[in-house]
Amino acid sequence: MNFEYTEDQNALRELAQKILTDHSTDDRLKALKAANEWFDKPTWDALAQASLLGVAVPEAHGGSGMGFVALALLCEEIGRSVAQVPVLASLVLGALPLSEFGSAAQQKAWLPGVAAGTTILTAALSEDAHDDPMRPHTTARRESGGWVLDGVKIIVPAGELAARILVPATTGGHEVGVFLVDPKAVGVTVERQILTNGEPHARLVLKGVRVGSDDVLGDPAGGAAIVQWIVERATIAYCAVQVGVCDRAIRMTAAYTTERKQFDRPIATFQAVQQRAADAFIDLECIRMATSEAVYRLANGLDATEMVRIAKYVASDGGQRCVVAAQHLHGGIGVDVDYPLHRYFIWAKHVELILGPAPAQLAKMGAELAA
């Protein structure tokens, strides 16, 4: 079998890398921080103009329809540049499930705007003190030809920017539906939450929020399968971001240790430095390989549940070792916030927290093996 990327996929990676290198610069990220802003609108617009925001949107709705492999490559480049744009929220959590499960009317209403960069979508999967998005505490009850939603969702990425939010809710018994909620609708409160990397997320409070029957994604009783579908792809998208973050951190470290001299020799020639860097590189390649296999399985409709869990574990565990090693080998400059490495350390920690602690993932895999 040929596991090489296609010419189109390689071209997409190169284009994304060039745009993000040109726009999401160290100076630009510093300027955003100084202005107390996170969303990098010029970079977002540049990605839209290059047709990269429609990478997984069907051609009929203004996208290129290149699928999940290409979208994962874009997420990797976002991590490599730590670009402050809601690619994962809008494309992975929003557009991807709409492309798969949305009605013709829903796709026509929202997907062209996503591809053009004028519409941002997201999903609200997390709840406080509850870690199973397939069994949400948020409820939806039928009323007057539609639905009424009540509940609270937390850490909703790009929640303040989104035109619509995909909200899973229990529709009765063990049944789950996924609803397209307007964050400006009556009964919706959007509260800002700042995460580890400085990215604004949202706490979404729903009190008697009315949703029309045409704003249900798929079967209102079969939404648990849709949520699992979303969760698996979102998990691997975060793993792809972690690949980019760790790859860039290690490359920065390789350049620094080659230039930094001690005792008239580059510190890269010291055995202890080489061993620490080699260990970090091995961790990176483990994350890359596990993520790539999960991406392949998801893109080809194969069962990927086990591989998603493995990738989730190695990205969480190995990702932290990569950036800790990078920071350690940089010495004092590694913790200087004026030096760009600190962003990669913070982003790796952010991804680890989103994915969940590595010991918890290992315990789940161990329980499955024992069973």
Is residue 190 a part of any domain in this protein? yes
**DSSP-derived 3-state class of residue 49:** helix
What is the domain range of residue 300? 225-370
Residue 177 shares a structural domain with residue 203? yes
Of 166 and 361, more confident = 166
What's the confidence (pLDDT) of residue 146? 93
Does residue 54 share a domain with residue 111? Answer: yes
Q: Does 195 share its domain with 311?
A: no
Which residues, at least 6 apart from 68, have a Cβ–Cβ distance to it below 8 Å? 56, 96, 233, 295, 298, 299
Number of structural domains in the chain: 3
Take residue 156 and report the two structure tokens written for it: 């909703």
Same domain, 188 and 303: no
pTM, two decimal places: 0.95
Q: Does the pLDDT at position 3 exceed 80?
A: no
**Residue that finishes a domain, picked among 119, 142, 162:** 119
Same structural domain, 104 and 238: no
Mean pLDDT of the chain, nearest integer: 94
Residue 1 lies in a domain: no
CATH code of 56's domain: 1.10.540.10
Instruction: Give the CATH number for residue 270.
Output: 1.20.140.10
Which residue among 88, 119, 150 closes a domain? Answer: 119
So what's the pLDDT on residue 4? 86
Answer whether residue 185 shows pLDDT above 90: yes
For range 49-63, the mean pLDDT: 96
Specify whether 331 is located in the same domain as 300: yes
Distance between CA 148 and CA 136 in Å, rounded? 15
Those residues whose C-beta lies under 8 Å from the C-beta of residue 336, and which sit 6 or more positions away, are 342
Any domain includes 2 = no
Same domain (yes/no): 264, 298: yes
Query: Do 79 and 13 have their domain in common?
Result: yes
pLDDT for the residue 174:
85
Asked whether residue 265 is domain-assigned, the answer is yes
pLDDT higher at 344 or 4: 344
Q: What is the pLDDT of residues 298-339, one digit of tens each?
A: 999 999 999 999 999 999 999 999 999 999 999 988 888 889
**Domain C-terminal end among 119, 150, 171:** 119
Q: Average pLDDT in the 270-289 region?
A: 96
Please indicate, yes or no, if residue 286 is contained in any of the structural domains. yes
Query: Averaged over 171-200, what is the pLDDT?
Result: 94
Asked, for residue 164, whether it belongs to a domain, the answer is yes
Q: Are residues 323 and 202 in the same domain?
A: no
> Is it the case that residue 130 has pLDDT exceeding 90?
no
Give the pLDDT of residue 256.
Answer: 94
Residue 332, in any domain of the structure: yes
59 Cβ neighbours under 8 A, 6+ residues apart: 65
Confidence of residue 2 (pLDDT cuts 50, 70, 90): low
> How much is the average pLDDT of 110-132?
95
What pLDDT is stored for residue 255 in this prediction?
95
| Measured CA distances, 348 to 18, 219, 237, 305, 330 (Å) | 22, 36, 13, 23, 17
| 68 pLDDT higher than 60 | yes
63 and 136 in a single domain? The answer is no
Give percent above pLDDT 90 in the chain.
88
| Residue 327 domain flag | yes
CATH number where 215 lies: 2.40.110.10
In this prediction, residues 137-153 reach a mean pLDDT of 94
User: Are both 60 and 25 inside the same structural domain?
Assistant: yes
5: three-class secondary structure by DSSP: coil
Q: Do 154 and 36 fall within a single domain?
A: no
197-to-82, 297, 310, 352 alpha-carbon distances in Å: 10, 30, 24, 11
